[in-house]
Amino acid sequence: MTGATGVAGPGAAAGAVVRRPARPRRSGWTPWLYLAPALVVLAGLLVYPVYQLGLISLLEYTQAQVSGGEPTSFQGLANYATLLRDGQFWSVLAATVVFAAACVVGTLAVGCALAVLLTRVRAVPRLLLMFAALGAWATPAITGSTVWVFLFDPDFGPVNRVLGLDGFSWTYGRYSAFALVLFEVVWCSFPFVMVTMYAGIRAIPSEVLEAAALDGASTWRVWRSVMAPMLRPILVVVTIQSIIWDFKVFTQIYVMTGGGGVAGQNLVLNVYAYQKAFASSQYSLGSAIGVVMLLILLAVTLVYLRIVRRSGEEL
């Protein structure tokens, strides 16, 4: 006979079939039902604007079409061909890549250094540093940019007075303007890296660090050989996230350099697209630049998602 639980009893025949309790079936649509409200909102906020961006990039769309004076005409990939033949586009793209790379390196350096510092100081200094960093992170970009412009003002800026550079305009030269914007971007971006890396350092078992110290490893050796490999998944994630943020910087460049600097010497792709679309009324070319940026960031995002998935599997 078979027991109530489906396990064969001692007197059961040798060929008796053992029945197991049926597992409840989970509908494959259940997760999507929970995600449906958020997906609807995202579709309205992201999918439709991206569709319009791609559509305008394929049309002839200037001020005449915006005003309704002339009908739009389909151009295909002509706007992209015009863009790729534009030497200024390639120089702006190169400047954007270099500027974003410098911002990422500076953000990671400052964030990681302060994360290590947080593990070495007492509770009160740690709390004050946390509050100061989160204050910088929470400051709106336009507010922070305006404050930094005042701090480095050639006539009234306190930084120039301390450095003895009265009358020196940081935004006049190309490299000094990029450096000033870089400082502001690092200032408002390092808290994310600092907090994330600090949490990762705290998650490292203390026994591992104590064993390395007992073996006579220096602080730099402990960081390079013990902590860095264990923090690699987190470090890769914050690096990719910083690349995405810094590649599409707009507000800081536009506010601090007056729309791209003297003769457009401080243009990045976002500001360049804005100038093409709204200053020159070449909305199609501006949309084409936006699509190119979207494809670049999409590639970076796919790499980011793949790394996050691998990190989850490793952890």
Burial class of residue 257 in the structure, from the number of CB atoms within 10 Å of its CB (0-12 exposed, 13-18 middle, 19+ buried): buried
Quick one: pLDDT at residue 21? Answer: 56
Which pLDDT does position 71 carry in this prediction? Answer: 67
| pLDDT (tens digit per residue) in 33-53 | 888 888 888 888 888 889 989
Q: What is the pLDDT of residues 94-129, one digit of tens each?
A: 999 999 999 999 999 999 999 988 988 898 999 999
Contact 224, 230 (CB under 8 A): no
pLDDT of 1 reads: 45
Q: Is 49 exposed, middle or buried (0-12, 13-18, 19+ CB in 10 A)?
A: exposed
Q: How confident is the model at residue 314, as a pLDDT? A: 55
Mean pLDDT of the chain: 85
Mean pLDDT of residues grouped by 10 in the chain (315 residues)? 48 53 63 86 86 90 76 84 92 95 95 90 91 90 93 90 88 93 94 92 85 80 81 87 91 92 90 90 91 91 79 57
Look at residue 3 in the predicted model and tell me its pLDDT. 46
Q: Is 113 exposed, middle or buried (0-12, 13-18, 19+ CB in 10 A)?
A: middle
Whether 206 contacts 172, CB under 8 Å: no
* Domains of the chain and any CATH numbers: 88-279 (1.10.3720.10)
